[in-house]
Amino acid sequence: MRYIIYILITLWSQGLFSQTFNLSIAITEIRSTDGEIVIGLYNNKESFPLVDKQYKEITTEVKSFSGIYIIKDLPKGEYAVAIFHDENSDMICNTNFFGIPKEGYGFSNNFRPKLSKPDFSDCKIVINADTLINIKLIY
């Protein structure tokens, strides 16, 4: 009997502590249906918003001027999202001479950077349930 109770407690606690959630990202104001949308999800301030340092990345073809993209199976935690619209499909967020993006971009909390890249704290979202965020692209 103790063995059965031990197994039940173990199974219950694993289910309780290994919960994952989905992050739905509604992206609006996409300028054109050319190219791809590149979504970077970050889970620490040291890597945000560096390319190739994402916790997860989604690249998807643009099919309309807005869309909802879902990142599944995220553990509870703090995250930040950085997006760019790769209109010319070169997998680079092209910038002008001053480093300002020429292609559409956006961040969680719809943070709009002034003269430098945003900090993780500016864009931080807390995931502890299935979550929907909205991001308007900036061109």
pLDDT digits (tens, 9 = 90+) for 91-131: 999 999 988 899 999 999 999 998 889 999 999 999 999 99
Total number of residues shown for the chain: 139
CB atoms within 10 A of CB 131: 16
So what's the pLDDT on residue 116? 87
Query: Does residue 15 form part of some domain?
Result: no
Specify whether the CB–CB gap between 37 and 93 falls below 8 A: no
Residue 11 belongs to a domain: no
65 within some domain? yes
Within a domain: 2 = no
Supply 86's token pair: 């790769």
Within a domain: 14: no
Q: How many domains does the chain have?
A: 1
C-alpha to C-alpha distance for 113 and 117, rounded to whole angstroms: 6
Alpha-carbon span 37 to 133, nearest angstrom: 16
Q: What is the CATH number of the domain that holds 126?
A: 2.60.40
